[in-house]
Amino acid sequence: MLLVTGLVLWWPTRWPPSLRIVLNRGLLRGLFDLHRTGGAVLGLLIAVSVATGAYMAWRPLGDFISAAMGQKPVKAPTIAKGTAQGPRLPLDELVARAQQVHPGQPIGYVAVPGKADRPVRVRFKLPDDPHPNGISSVWLHPVTGEVLAARKWQELDAGNGSVAVIFPLHTGELGGVVHEIVTALLGLALGGLGFSGIWLWWRRRRTAAEAARRSAAVARPSS
C-alpha cells in the first residue's frame, strides 16, 4: 500500500520525469529527493519482494490461481479416524521410509505435525527442483509409517508448484550471489524509505506547527 500511494504522489504531470537528486541544499531537501526519486526508481524492484512474500504468506492466492486455471489445489492427505492411535514411529524410521521413494536424494525439510491425526511430510530437493529446500514431498502415516502420497514439484497444481520459483525469487537465491546481494540492498532501501518517510512527515508537521504559532503571534493584538 505504501508503495502504491508513494507512486501516486510521485507521478509527474509531465514526461519524462525529473530524477534529479540535489544534495547541496541542506539535509531536508537531499533526503526528500532521495526518498522521492529512490522510491520511484526502486519501487518496482521492491514490489517484487513484497508481492512474492505476500504470495507465500497468504495461501488463498495460490488456491485462487489454481482455480482460475481449472486445477484442484493439492492438499495433504488425510488420515482415517481411528488409525492414528498408538505411539508414533521414530522420526528416523519415517524419514528412511520416505527415502525409499526418492533414494539418494537430499532431504530439505521435515514437517512433524503437532497432532497425531495428521501426516508427516518429508520434502526432497530433487535435481530439477528450483526451490532451495525442495518441495517434492512424501507424506507418511505417523503411526504405521505407510506412504500416504508422494508428489514431485512438477505434479503440484500451479498455485502450489509456483512456490518452487517464487521462494528463491523472493530470497534472491534464484539468480545466485548477485541476485542475493541485490535483494539484500533492496531490503535496506525499503527500510531507508520507511525511515526517511517518517522523518519527512515529522519535519513537515513541526514546520507547520511553527508557522501556525508565528501566524498566531503576529495576529495577536498588542495590549
Quick: pLDDT tens for 99-151: 999 999 999 999 998 877 889 999 999 998 889 889 999 999 998 899 999 99
- Cell output for 112: 512433524
Residue 194's pLDDT band (cuts 50, 70, 90): confident
pLDDT of residue 84: 66
Asked whether residue 122 falls in the same domain as residue 181, the answer is no
Residue 113, in any domain of the structure: yes
Domain extent, residue 22, equals 2-58+173-213
- Domain tally, the chain: 2
Q: Say yes or no: 28 and 87 in one domain.
A: no
Query: In terms of pLDDT, which residue wins out, 107 or 185?
Result: 107
80 and 150 in one domain?
yes
Q: Assess whether the previous peptide bond of 12 is cis (omega < 30° from 0).
A: no
Same domain, 86 and 128: yes
Average pLDDT over the chain reads 83
Residue 205 within a domain? yes
103 lies in some domain: yes
Q: Are residues 195 and 126 in the same domain?
A: no
82: left (phi over 0), alpha (psi -120 to 50) or beta: left
pTM of the model: 0.67
